[in-house]
Amino acid sequence: MAFEFPKSLDDLPVSKVKWVGKPVNRVEDPQLVTGKTEFIDNVTLPGMLHCAILHSPHAHARIKSIDMSRAAALPGVVTTLTGEDAERWTRPMYTTPQGWGGYVLATDRVRFVGEPVAAVAATSRYIAEDALELIDVEYEPIDPIVDAFAAAQPDSPKVFEDHDDNIMYQRIFTWGEVEEAFQKADHVYKESFRWNRVGANPLETFGIISEWDIVEDSLTCRGSFQTPSFMAMGRAATFRLPSNKVRFIAQPHGGSFGGKGGGRGTDITLMLSRKAGGRPVKWIEDRMEYLSSGGSQAWDRHYDVSIAVKDDGTVTALRVKLLDDMGATAEGFGATGAVKPMASFTGCYAIPAAEYDLTLVATNKLPVSPYRGMGPPPHNFVLEQMMDIAARDLDLDPAEIRRRNFIPADQFPYIIASGNEYDSGEYEAALDKVLEMAGYEDLRREQEEARAEGRLVGIGVVSTIEPGVFDWNAYTVIGTAGIGIPEGVTVAIDTMGKITARVGFALEGQGQYTVITQLLAEYFGTELEDVRVVHVDNLSAPPNFGPGGSRLGVAITGAVLGAAQRLTEKLTKVAAKMFEVQPEDIELLDGMLRVKKVPESQLSVRNVAAIMLNRSDMLPPDVDPSPQATFAWTAPDRVEPDEQGRVKSYLTAANACHLVMVEIDPGTGKVEILKYYIADDCGTRLNPANVEGMIQGALAQGVGAALLEEYVYDDDGQLLTASFMDYLLPTIHEVPFPEKAALVTPSPFTPLGAKGAGESAIHTTPAAIMCAINDALLPLGVRAKEVPASPNRLWKLIQGASDQ
């Protein structure tokens, strides 16, 4: 049967909404603030061993020999592992695009600094690390391929000998009459940009405890998995095991942001467990391992961009050429980050034609991983610089050129040139809100005064889209399979009327268990305390993926409301029999099942559930004694992309407008954020405090990307930023606390009108800060084209300007 999801909070079965849409405290927090939450490193199993992994010190080398004998002889070392074991027991890693990877432990050669080469399992981590020092590896170094442009040349040395070159993927997508638009344009603007590697860095690194049952040939893994079911499928494929013999239990984990990584560590610990007779093997990645060999790095990009513009500022076409440095393999799904910009290619603007010339190249660096936002943040950075470049030349205010190009509010749903459909939006309203909050005209006057004093003060104003509710169909063009991505929940009411929701994903920080609790307490008219959310393993959970792609809030809302509706149908049949009426005469309101128009004939949900469980004599014949229901939600109306990759991929399009004022110290090149304002529209906010928290958190990550964070490799492929002393995360001193406004333009396509939320600021903040920096630099006639705009880069730019 077709499900009718409540379109807004008013459609919920209550006379007055009590929980949903309210900033209720999180159910996750009491455990967390008392240190009781079971993060993976808190778990100890009987007989457990500890793994340590030996990583390659070379960016590129042949392995001539590995001698594990001294390590194996160390007291306390139970077993050891090398690439030979991986070749014997596993398939090469699954990669996207396909065919660009090796085994989880290096076999004949290493391709990046940090690549796992060997591993040991010992009775303590201390002994395991001692043993690493006793492993004798003979390497024959090969010249590393570090520069992306050189790597992309046809005559470049190769990262993989079995490929013709280092090009993992190359394609030009053309949407609309691009060439014609450029020919007819009054103005064409071109610029090149560089976005350096940044990445997730959750405070908890990846960790796992693996057990290989050598009798049953079944696996059990406990760990900090962002997507446990997905990882379980990967293990079944890697080890050629029946998928129902792979059990994954996700522990609560300390953040992920897409970059938790862990595939190699999972497979290595599983093989160690197998060699150790099935003893559990724990591996907790340390921070330096995370930075150099984990899921830490993303978005290593070189851009050439051009836009076609009319005299009045209307942008008629956008061309983006991207050379994206994937690192040594395509194992980490990082390539999806280069494709995702297609879901919001032209931003908030009604640009009718666009072209994406995309090249993914292999180099001897760490393979890139996903990171919050999944690719559009660098794309938005370059697009928004181009808008400002055009505005300057046409003598338009940066806010005005954006206003002139916005998709008008009356044109939604709107299909952008690259094929995705935006569900709804009020971009001009968000811009106006920000300009009003900031007192924009006064700010510009302030800026003029500062400039008159010789100070470098600039303002950036940027609006972006956060594509929400990802679907696999977005990534078909680089070889992922499938359409749809189900997220399920089982909702059960027990004989005491208490509600349990079983889901397949663990705590990660976004507060999803709180949202589920709000929804169920609302739907069945209970207190929040009457609902409990539990995580179950992949073999027990309904279909699920977990957090990712700005999707879970919407998807789990659909799942919960679907399951609640299914459960209500059962309860309704029982109540109808009790009252001797037809099921269609019964309605659920405020936790009571009542006969329509006869409100005094009513039974509580709790009573009906108890009847189902304890009074089989009262059950209708077509109802089983089980007050439970399962529902899995996926986005409606998704299909395959067309021949140019165009597809309705992400179901929702949230919008944010940021205005930031910065000052650059010409003596040091340091940027200070003077003022910051945000208007954010992610549709219905299921828990506004959750949303506010994620906006501020993503803002901090955006500040880091724009000003501080950068993975630096030298010409030998050595990582120079392998500690937090060198890879600079923002602290409380660097992060502004903006004035924030919420706009609510509900999605017409989702349950309750919610949109994907949680990424908006990282899509917007780097672009806005860079626009402000370039506004500040304007009097000097120089332009910052590289992210992060670190003090040394800006200082050099400023010095260069004064030399002229």
Partner 1 sequence: MAAKRDVRLTVNGVAYEASVEPRMTLVDMLRGELGLTGTHVGCEHGVCGACTVLMDGRAVRSCIMLAVQADGAEFMTVEGLASEAGELHPIQQAFIEERGLQCGFCTPGFMMTIHELLQETPDPTEEEIKDALGGAICRCTGYESILKSVRSAAKKLQALG
Distance CA 682, CA 464 (A): 12
Instruction: Name the minimum Å distance from CB 553 to partner 1.
Output: 14
Distance CA 399, CA 386 (A): 13
Residue 137 or 678 with smaller CB distance to partner 1: 678
Instruction: Name the minimum Å distance from CB 334 to partner 1.
Output: 19
Question: What is the sign of the dihedral through the CA atoms of 613, 619, 625 and 627?
Answer: negative
DSSP-assigned letters across all residues of 447-477: HHHHHHTT-EEEEEEEEEEEEES--GGGGGG
Instruction: Name the minimum Å distance from CB 620 to partner 1.
Output: 44
Which helix (H) or strand (E) element contains residue 741?
A: strand 739-743
Residue 74 or 581 with smaller CB distance to partner 1: 74
Residue 201 or 464 with smaller CB distance to partner 1: 201
Q: Which residues bind partner 1 (CB under 8 A)?
A: 25-26, 28-30, 32-37, 39, 41-42, 126, 130, 200-204, 253-255, 257, 284, 286-288, 507-511, 689, 692-694, 696-701, 723-725, 729, 731-733, 735, 737
The answer to whether the CB of 513 falls within 8 A of the CB of 553 is: no
Q: Is 789 left (phi over 0), alpha (psi -120 to 50) or beta?
A: beta
Contacts of 803 (CB under 8 A, 6+ apart): none
**From edge to edge, which strands make up the β-sheet containing 116-122?**
77-82, 116-122, 49-55, 281-284, 207-213, 218-223, 246-250
Helix (H, G, I), strand (E, B) or coil at 426: coil
Residue 39 or 283 with smaller CB distance to partner 1: 39
| Tokens encoding 405 | 């190009």
Residue 35 or 667 with smaller CB distance to partner 1: 35
Instruction: Name the minimum Å distance from CB 41 to partner 1.
Output: 7
Which helix (H) or strand (E) element contains residue 417?
A: none
Contacts of 179 (CB under 8 A, 6+ apart): none
Residue 678 or 782 with smaller CB distance to partner 1: 678
Contacts of 778 (CB under 8 A, 6+ apart): 392, 458
Burial of 344 (0-12, 13-18, 19+ CB in 10 A): buried
Instruction: Please report where in the chains the tokens 């009411």 appear, as a residue.
Output: 493
Helix (H, G, I), strand (E, B) or coil at 479: coil
Residue 302 or 372 with smaller CB distance to partner 1: 372
Residue 506 or 754 with smaller CB distance to partner 1: 506
Residue 640 or 737 with smaller CB distance to partner 1: 737
Instruction: Name the minimum Å distance from CB 777 to partner 1.
Output: 26
The answer to whether the CB of 641 falls within 8 A of the CB of 748 is: no
**Amino acid in the structure at residue 383:** L
Instruction: Name the minimum Å distance from CB 33 to partner 1.
Output: 4
The neighbour count for residue 338, using CB atoms within 10 Å, is 26
Instruction: Name the minimum Å distance from CB 282 to partner 1.
Output: 11
The answer to whether the CB of 50 falls within 8 A of the CB of 122 is: yes
Distance CA 690, CA 26 (A): 9
Distance CA 620, CA 583 (A): 11
Residue 32 or 394 with smaller CB distance to partner 1: 32
Distance CA 251, CA 249 (A): 6
Residue 224 or 655 with smaller CB distance to partner 1: 224
Residue 222 or 594 with smaller CB distance to partner 1: 222
Residue 41 or 494 with smaller CB distance to partner 1: 41
The closest of 754, 230, 207 to 541, measured between CA atoms, is: 230
**Amino acid in the structure at residue 370:** P
Instruction: Name the minimum Å distance from CB 322 to partner 1.
Output: 27
The answer to whether the CB of 276 falls within 8 A of the CB of 80 is: no
Kindly report whether the peptide bond that precedes residue 788 is cis, defined as omega within 30 degrees of 0: yes
DSSP-assigned letters across all residues of 301-321: EEEEEEEEE-TTS-EEEEEEE
How big, in percent rounded to 5, are the helix, strand and coil portions of the chain?
A: 35, 25, 40
Instruction: Name the minimum Å distance from CB 32 to partner 1.
Output: 3
Instruction: Name the minimum Å distance from CB 756 to partner 1.
Output: 17
The answer to whether the CB of 691 falls within 8 A of the CB of 757 is: yes
Residue 481 or 725 with smaller CB distance to partner 1: 725
Instruction: Name the minimum Å distance from CB 163 to partner 1.
Output: 36
Instruction: Name the minimum Å distance from CB 142 to partner 1.
Output: 31
- The single-letter DSSP state of residue 252 is P
Instruction: Name the minimum Å distance from CB 507 to partner 1.
Output: 8
Instruction: Name the minimum Å distance from CB 53 to partner 1.
Output: 15
Instruction: Name the minimum Å distance from CB 366 to partner 1.
Output: 18
Helix (H, G, I), strand (E, B) or coil at 418: coil
Instruction: Name the minimum Å distance from CB 676 to partner 1.
Output: 11
Distance CA 642, CA 670 (A): 47
Residue 199 or 352 with smaller CB distance to partner 1: 199
Residue 717 or 758 with smaller CB distance to partner 1: 758
The answer to whether the CB of 105 falls within 8 A of the CB of 114 is: no
**Amino acid in the structure at residue 258:** G
